[in-house]
Amino acid sequence: MKATTAARLRRYVTVDVFTDRIFGGNPLAVVLDAAGLSAQTMQAIALEFNYSETSFVLPADDPGHTAKVRIFTPRVEVPFAGHPNVGTAFALARDDRFAAATAAGRFVFEEAAGLVPIDLLREHGSIVGAELRAPEALSRRPTVSREAAAACLSLEPSDVVMQTHPPQVVSVGLPFLTVEVRDRDALRRSRPNAAAHAEFLPPVGTDAVFAYCRPPAACAAGEEIILHARTFSPLDGVVEDPATGSACAATIALLATLDPVNSAGRTWRIHQGVDMGRPSLLLGRTKTNGTAIDTYIGGRCVAVLDGVLPMSI
């Protein structure tokens, strides 16, 4: 007798995150029924979508939490990432299975980096996005030279700004080399140099560079601070990421730590993806919590596609 294989249809949706219009922001695939999938299968699905990340929703270990969420780039699983959390929360808020948590307006995701609390954002009664709190306090890790940072970005060393901080690996759940560049023109000219990434990034514990610049005029205390940014991660199969919530969160936590007098109640507006044709807007908050800085990143989302994956089980 020939053996039969049952088939289970795994639902998925795609969402554009950190944007208010379709085909902007950072696209995300969310597999809504991931229970029983192996890590190898999840990795294959993430490679098939080939977005910067794909998230997989599983039952939570603790019934008091909303879900367990695993996040994969095209090449590797990561413990935490920004736009997958915001986009997954937006997707689950449209799923009747999560109606009670949606009505309460708060999700808690279990992830490798820890618990990620997420508040839904509403406008005129409709859910339009979400805001996460980073799962870890800021950790400041190794620095690299101005020359190494410039090489990673295909820039001259003079394009790298050192006054506030040196190029440094920072993390609130996922590590990035954060580099301040001189101005918007330097940011626009930035390109990833894969050979330099391979030489300089693995020894300092990361595979991505987050480059940013600030407007010429400094903001007064309490005002919103604007940053322009780009993220490059060719070692991870992502040449450029349109919007990187985890890197933005780590960077604003670093800047708030370096300016502790004005860190309480500070708000941030980060523009990313502009130079690659996927404009994104990330909204950040930092506030003092004892001796630490709590960091929040949020934004709007747009639903794009619904579908199913026929998987053998």
Cβ neighbours around 60 below 10 Å, total: 15
Q: Which CATH architecture has domain 139-299?
A: Roll (3.10)
Q: Is 282 within 8 Å of 245 (Cβ atoms)?
A: yes
Half-sphere exposure of 91 (CA within 13 A, CB side): 30
Active site residues: 53
State pLDDT tens for residues 25-83: 999 999 999 999 999 999 999 999 999 999 999 999 999 999 999 999 999 999 999 99
Q: Is 153 within 8 Å of 210 (Cβ atoms)?
A: no
Residue 14 CA from chain centroid, whole number: 16
CA-based end-to-end distance of the chain? 19
State pLDDT tens for residues 120-157: 999 999 999 999 999 999 999 999 999 999 999 999 99
- Percentage of residues in the chain having pLDDT higher than 90: 87
Q: Is 90 within 8 Å of 102 (Cβ atoms)?
A: no
Q: How many residues does the chain have?
A: 313
104 backbone dihedrals φ, ψ, rounded to 5°: -75, -20
Question: Residue 219: CB partners within 8 Å, gap ≥ 6?
Answer: 225, 226
Sequence ranges of the chain with CATH classification 3.10.310.10: 7-134+301-312, 139-299
The yes-or-no verdict on residue 289 having pLDDT over 80 is: no
CA dist 10 and 125 (Å) reads: 30
DSSP 244-274: -HHHHHHHHHHHHHHSGGG-TTEEEEEEESG
CATH superfamily of 7-134+301-312: Diaminopimelate Epimerase; Chain A, domain 1 (3.10.310.10)
Closest CA to 234 of 73, 30, 16: 73
